[in-house]
Amino acid sequence: MCVPSPQLLLFTTVASGVSGMMSARAGAKEALRAGQRTAERIEQQKQVAQLTAEQETTALLQSFSQSMASNIAMRGIMGRDASDPSFRAFEKNNFATLQTDLERMAIQGKNVTKNYDLQKFEAVSSATDRAKSLRRQGLLNLVGAGTEGIMRYDKVKVGED
């Protein structure tokens, strides 16, 4: 049976600790990159949601415009003027509904944007915390392996092992 020399034992133990620390640092870098990629995906989803909201607003405005055009055409066909109370009430109601819908869509849009921004913050924050944890774990691994190597070095040196 081959008995390792104390220096070889110390070297391999410390090398193992250093390699563990380097691996943890690489894991920390990857955690940060993954968090950034997640944040970029969330930003893309946010942009798609904003585009969809703009399209919905456009569709609402088109519908309103068509409704108003129909109202004007009906008024003309029926021979009534712009001061007709029933048509004025219809227009007033249409304007009020449009205003309410636009306000609600704006509130919803702000909430969706805030939600996506919060998701991005959480993704980056979580990745940062994970990276810090991995770095600490690697450092503790190095210290633990180094301490074990020193303790075993003394035992091998004395001939206890």
Q: What is the pTM of this model?
A: 0.70
Residue 151's pLDDT is 76
* Per-residue model confidence as pLDDT tens digits over 135-149: 898 888 888 887 877
In the structure, what pLDDT confidence band is assigned to residue 129 with cuts at 50, 70 and 90?
Answer: very high
Taking 80 as the threshold, does the pLDDT of residue 156 lie above it? no
Residue at token pair 């190095």: 142
* Per-residue model confidence as pLDDT tens digits over 56-88: 999 999 999 998 898 888 888 888 887 888 888
Residue 140's pLDDT is 86
Exposed, middle or buried, 17 (CB in 10 Å: 0-12/13-18/19+)?
Answer: buried
* Dihedral sign (CA 6, 10, 11, 12): positive
